[in-house]
Amino acid sequence: SQQGEEDPQALSIQEGENATMNCSYKTSINNLQWYRQNSGRGLVHLILIRSNEREKHSGRLRVTLDTSKKSSSLLITASRAADTASYFCATDGGFKTIFGAGTRLFVKA
Amino acid sequence: DSGVTQTPKHLITATGQRVTLRCSPRSGDLSVYWYQQSLDQGLQFLIQYYNGEERAKGNILERFSAQQFPDLHSELNLSSLELGDSALYFCASSVGNSGGAYGYTFGSGTRLTVV
């Protein structure tokens, strides 16, 4: 079964709004990563948060991790049309990394 | 440009055929990973090589094989192709033997269409 599962599956917002995507997982992890994929292109690494961290920022991105709830969220603030893409969480349990099915974000100009 | 180079970008072939996908990792990265992405299966890990040795195996079919050469480039061989093998095939690389520890650098993928 999938380790990381994103929610929602799809999200449509207006430019300038914030976008929040969630990821839930089942077993203990060493770290959790978020990736972006533009249509038909390769995945781009956005941010990695380790199991002993609770929050991390990178530009307009904010990631939180709650290991007690086995969940993470990715917040994109002041979204732009260029943020339109699929976003994946990936959980690393030490043995292998498992990618979720992704959230499709559409930002309307 | 991520630094990971995959060729070819597109491939169309018939059922039953064999194809080879090629990947050159980012400079300095020793690990190469192969992933298959299809609409109904998401991103599936196939296999990992680290410095020429097979390191981990995922959901790789027996019809598929891979290797990593001394110059660290890798090839994924797909044989007896079926319609269901149509997908995007990604190569990723990482510095150490665990991309999960620091993150992966992905190539732009090879889109395989089996007709």
Contact B105 A96 (CB under 8 A): no
Search chain B and give the residue with CA nearest A30. B101
Average pLDDT of A51-72? 97
CA of B3 vs chain A CAs: smallest distance (Å): 12
SS3 label, residue A25: coil
Span B66-114, pLDDT tens digits: 999 999 999 999 999 999 999 999 999 998 877 778 889 999 999 999 9
B115 close to A (CB below 8 A): no
Of the candidates B45, B1, B44, the one whose C-alpha atom is nearest the C-alpha of residue B24 is: B1
**Residue B5 contacts A, CB cutoff 8 Å:** no
Residue B2, sorted as left (phi over 0), alpha (psi -120 to 50) or beta, turns out to be: alpha
Angstrom distance (rounded) from CA A102 to CA A12: 14
Percent of chain A with pLDDT over 90: 82
- The arithmetic mean of pLDDT across residues A26-40, rounded, is 92
Beta-carbon contacts of A68 under 8 Å, excluding residues fewer than 6 positions away, are none
- Residue with the larger pLDDT of the pair A5 and B49: B49
Closest chain A residue to the Cα of B47, Cα to Cα? A96
Residues of A in contact with B100 (CB under 8 A): 30-31, 33, 90, 92-94, 96-97
